[in-house]
Amino acid sequence: MDIIEEAIEAFSQLPGIGPKSAKRIVYSLISSPQKGKRIEGAIERLSNDLTFCKICGNVSDGEVCKICSDPNRENTICVVGKPLDVMSFEKTGVYRGKYHVLGGLIDPLSGIGPQDLRIAELKKRVEEEKAPEVILALDSTVEGEATSTFISSLLRGSAKISRLASGIPVGSELEYTDQLTLSKALTDRMREN
Amino acid sequence: MDIIEEAIEAFSQLPGIGPKSAKRIVYSLISSPQKGKRIEGAIERLSNDLTFCKICGNVSDGEVCKICSDPNRENTICVVGKPLDVMSFEKTGVYRGKYHVLGGLIDPLSGIGPQDLRIAELKKRVEEEKAPEVILALDSTVEGEATSTFISSLLRGSAKISRLASGIPVGSELEYTDQLTLSKALTDRMREN
């Protein structure tokens, strides 16, 4: 039954899908082929009809994405690692500026340096668009911190630079918050008066 | 970004995949299109190259599946609900007989009656193959029990009929076992001497 095994393998490559879930998925596709057709079509369109915005690097259905071509968006640039992060910020509905997608984070262990990311494009863009502020919205990981620090020193003097606040996640209890987060939350405490 | 939303919807239909996992999957396919190609190919082959064995009803790459055409298999018939269950039993390596896949379970609430399942085929097969034993290996649910009871009375007199043992799952603690399972395990206790 090599066809089934190969299909299970193919689905196991997806993030968050282990061999057991892949098996369930494949057998569900066998019993309802129309689900499979729909996924085939969706994948087809993802690869044929999507491209990357030449300004911000986000996924887009045209040369320039909807956000970059929106005249109502402010000139602030929010720098993120990957397209999914743009979606997350857009869902909040709080941010009215634009984005810049780096396409990854600096990660020497995997051989990813600043030249592999869209950092030169960011610098050029900040100068051309006269962005008043650049928000570094990268993962709170070693790679994210390294990338933020690199960009921060590169852009010094060109724009106001800020980073996302770090602290206690909303709705979580102190008892279950790790010590690094706790000390960061303490150091960055906000004055109330 | 309707293409992305549609792709997320398509993946959300799969078992065990919620909207969040679907989002991660879709963005991973955007960044590595070769994964998508592999899945497309796998789905294509599932629908083109797989069929159902005309004897047992399991998925098969030919008219008669490998298990039904294996002369070394005993004539015992293990009755299961769906093809995935065959795979689970085959993985144990313990069973040397054949299978019969019903294609579902009797479920009046969803309008599935005995005539919608491969039950008539089972009866015919038991008589033709002179199966010495029929093992009812159906889910331990209301639907599974109803189906077992129905088949059991239908086949009475044609073959020896047995059911899977129910009891404490191997490796689990009594403390975490539900009361129904506990009382079943007690009633069906095995003599040691």
- DSSP readout, A110-138? GTB-GGGTTHHHHHHHHHHHT-SEEEE--
pTM score, two decimals? 0.74
Q: What residues of B are in contact with residue A7 (Cβ under 8 Å)? A: 42-43, 45-46
**B117 in any annotated domain:** yes
On whether residue A96 sits in a domain, the answer given is yes
Count of residues making up chain B: 193
Residue A177 within a domain: no
pLDDT of residue A1: 56
Same domain? For A102 and A144 the reply is yes
Q: Within a domain: residue A188?
A: no
Same domain, A44 and A74: no
Whether B122 contacts B102, CB under 8 Å: yes
Residues of A in contact with B36 (CB under 8 A): 43, 46-47
In this predicted structure, the answer to whether residue A147 has a pLDDT above a threshold of 60 is: yes
Contacts of A45 in chain B (CB under 8 A): 3, 6-7
The yes-or-no verdict on residue A174 having pLDDT over 80 is no
One domain for residues A73 and A140 = yes
Interface contact flag, B24 A84, Cβ < 8 Å? yes
Domain identity same for A77 and A45 = no
Of A59 and A191, which is predicted with more confidence? Answer: A59
Q: Is B3 in contact with A61 (Cβ distance < 8 A)? A: yes
CB B149 within 8 A of CB B114: no
Weakly modelled stretches of chain B, pLDDT under 50:
none
Structure tokens at A73: 């968006």
Query: Which CATH number goes with the domain that contains A103?
Result: 3.40.1360.10
pLDDT at residue A95 tops 60: yes
Closest CA to A98 of A124, A132, A127, A62: A132
Show the domain range for B87: 72-163
Residue B107 lies in a domain: yes
Query: How far, in Å, CA of B60 to CA of B54, rounded?
Result: 9
B64 in contact with A, Cβ within 8 Å: no
Number of compact structural domains in chain B: 2
DSSP string, B129-155: HT-SEEEE---SSHHHHHHHHHHHHHH
- For residue B138, tell me if it sits in a domain: yes
Contacts of A67 in chain B (CB under 8 A): none
Do A139 and A99 lie in a common domain?
Answer: yes
For residues A111 and A2, the model is more confident at A111
**What share of chain A has pLDDT > 90, as a percent?**
68
Q: Are residues A14 and A42 in the same domain?
A: yes
Q: Say if residue B89 is in the same domain as residue B130.
A: yes
- Reported confidence tier of residue A164, pLDDT bands at 50, 70, 90: confident
Residue with tokens 């038991």: B126
B122, part of any domain: yes
Q: Is residue A18 part of a domain?
A: yes
CB contact under 8 A, B42 and A10: yes
CATH number for the domain that contains residue B43 = 1.10.8.420
Same-domain check for residues A138 and A83: yes
